[in-house]
Structure 1
Amino acid sequence: MSDNDDIERKRRDHIKDSFHSLRDSVPALQGEKQSIKQASRAQILDKATEYIQYMRRKNHTHQQDIDDLKRQNALLEQQVRALEKVKGSTQLQASYSSPDSSLYTNPKGSTVSAFDGGSDSSSESEPEEPRKKLRVEPS
């Protein structure tokens, strides 16, 4: 056997091993190595292409969910800061008011009770976004 034949055999073995590795990486083909009718190379490439496209779509959907959650998180953090600011200023105003008074004016100019923590449930500047349901796809 010549060196060229040996090199060619190693090349074919490498391609064969690579196809087996690809077949074993695609969920739809994972049981194929024990079956009587093994998947052809064309079938392996077709199924691998389908799986890559499916995973790209799934990844895109997950990225959209991550972006939505980041926006929701930023909005909630902004609301927390606004509430902490209102709470701090209402506590300051309450300390200057007479002990008999249970009503005072918050920074927005609304009269609020000292017993409600100064929360103003209507927010003109920031409309609340409805919560999105996460899309769940079978794995």
Structure 2
Amino acid sequence: MRTARRKARVAECSHVEATESTRCRPIGTPLHRRMSDNDDIEVDSDEESPRYHNVADKRAHHNALERKRRDHIKDSFHSLRDSVPALQGEKASRAQILDKATEYIQYMRRKNHTHQQDIDDLRRQNALLEQQAVRALEKVKGSAQLQASYSSSDSSLYTNPKGSAVSAFDGGSDSSSESEAEEPPNRKKLRVEAS
């Protein structure tokens, strides 16, 4: 059986404001006032009690979410503080952490920009060196072809002290250190006929 609810008789007036409990009261009157004989008491039934538990559960859930959010922000600030070398392990306010983190980020951006310029310079130098190496190889190939054409047409070879033939382009250098020590002061040029 439901308990009957008597409704309060509220006089209509233009000076009414809502309170937290959504009841109306005249402006300027205290929140808690003495009840008059004309006011009725609102009695809650047992069916409505889950509503109040539901409100309490919602409030508890909201508070838990808010606590979790604050803990996450706090942990994020601690992580940020530990990431900034100037603040590692130090106690600092959130404003100090943000200031130092901003300075560190700007410093690292400048440093990265400098490193990127160095990398670009090294790439340009590598490209120039590769071009020079290609030109040098082309010159060597060209001189080798020229040497081959001269040696086949002119057949001008020199002999070293051991008697082996050496090209005029080699300069008569021998790789053994003994032959350099025993080399006679005057070298004779011998013309070898091609067979």
The match for 2:84 among 13, 20, 26 is 26
> CA deviation digits over 1:22-52, x for unaligned, max 9?
00000000031xxxxx200000000000000
Give the secondary structure class of the aligned counterpart of 2:158.
Answer: strand
Distance 2:153 2:88 in 1: 76
* Deviates most, 76-85 or 16-25: 76-85
The match for 1:5 among 29, 36, 39 is 39
Distance 2:177 2:144 in 1: 17
Return 5+ residue gaps in structure 2 as ranges: 1-34, 42-65
> CA deviation digits over 1:60-84, x for unaligned, max 9?
0000000000000000000044434
Give the secondary structure class of the aligned counterpart of 2:178.
Answer: coil
Alpha carbons of structure 1 residues 93 and 136: separation in structure 2 relative to 1, 3 Å: closer
Whether the 8 Å CA contact 1:65–1:134 is kept in 2: the answer is: no
Whether the 8 Å CA contact 1:89–1:107 is kept in 2: the answer is: no
Distance 2:114 2:189 in 1: 12
Alpha carbons of structure 1 residues 85 and 5: separation in structure 2 relative to 1, 3 Å: farther
* Deviates most, 44-53 or 100-109: 100-109
CA offset at residue 87 of structure 1? 3.4
Alpha carbons of structure 1 residues 5 and 102: separation in structure 2 relative to 1, 3 Å: farther
Return 5+ residue gaps in structure 1 as ranges: 33-37
Alpha carbons of structure 1 residues 112 and 96: separation in structure 2 relative to 1, 3 Å: same
TM-score under structure 1 normalisation? 0.58
Whether the 8 Å CA contact 1:106–1:118 is kept in 2: the answer is: yes
CA offset at residue 127 of structure 1? 41
* Deviates most, 9-18 or 97-106: 97-106
Whether the 8 Å CA contact 1:29–1:39 is kept in 2: the answer is: yes
* Deviates most, 83-92 or 2-11: 2-11
Say which structure, 1 or 2, has more relative contact order (CA 8 Å, 6+ apart).
Answer: 1
Alpha carbons of structure 1 residues 89 and 100: separation in structure 2 relative to 1, 3 Å: closer
Alpha carbons of structure 1 residues 85 and 21: separation in structure 2 relative to 1, 3 Å: same
Identity over aligned residues, as a percent? 95
Distance 1:50 1:135 in 2: 79
Alpha carbons of structure 1 residues 104 and 138: separation in structure 2 relative to 1, 3 Å: closer
Q: Which has the larger radius of gyration?
A: 2
Whether the 8 Å CA contact 1:104–1:114 is kept in 2: the answer is: yes
* Deviates most, 53-62 or 119-128: 119-128
Alpha carbons of structure 1 residues 52 and 9: separation in structure 2 relative to 1, 3 Å: same
Figure out how many residues of one structure are paired with residues of the other and give that number: 133
